[in-house]
Amino acid sequence: MPWGSKLLSRPMSQSGKHAMVFNCFFCGGRFQFGPSLCDGKHIKRYKISVCSACWSSNWDGWSPRVEERLLAHLVTEELPVPERNEKGWLPRDGQAPNGTRG
Ligand SMILES: [Zn+2]
């Protein structure tokens, strides 16, 4: 049995040129996301996509201005609300701040 002959062809690499276009969860702006383009961010924990502007301007968490929208989304998706950071804001990537256990 010939090893490795099929390892080079990956099934998902057919149209790798096209970046996908997403709408930012917070500002609604469109951004591209692809193998070589990275104008935004996917936040798996929240199941949302945000543009790089919103991502980078909210490095310290999602402020009360936008959290209402996020909280409503979490309820809709039946996702748990993460522990808030020291400012009382929702952590940007949904991870608990500073990795404290428990
Ligand atoms: Zn945005």
Residue 16 confidence (pLDDT): 55
Give the Å distance between the CA of 10 and the centre of ligand 1.
33
Q: For the whole model, what pTM was predicted?
A: 0.73
Residue 101 confidence (pLDDT): 47
Q: Where are the domains of the chain?
A: 20-95
Residue 32 confidence (pLDDT): 87
Residue 15 confidence (pLDDT): 52
Give the Å distance between the CA of 60 and the centre of ligand 1.
15
Polymer length in residues for the chain: 102
**Distance between CA 91 and CA 55 in Å, rounded?**
11
CA dihedral 28, 32, 37, 41 (to 10 degrees): 40
Count the neighbouring beta carbons within 10 Å of the beta carbon of residue 73. Answer: 14
Residues with CB under 5 A from ligand 1 (ion): 24, 26-27, 29, 51, 54
Residue 2 confidence (pLDDT): 55
Give the Å distance between the CA of 56 and the centre of ligand 1.
10
- Which residues, given as ranges, of the chain have pLDDT below 50? 9, 13-14, 101-102
Give the Å distance between the CA of 98 and the centre of ligand 1.
25
Residue 39 confidence (pLDDT): 86
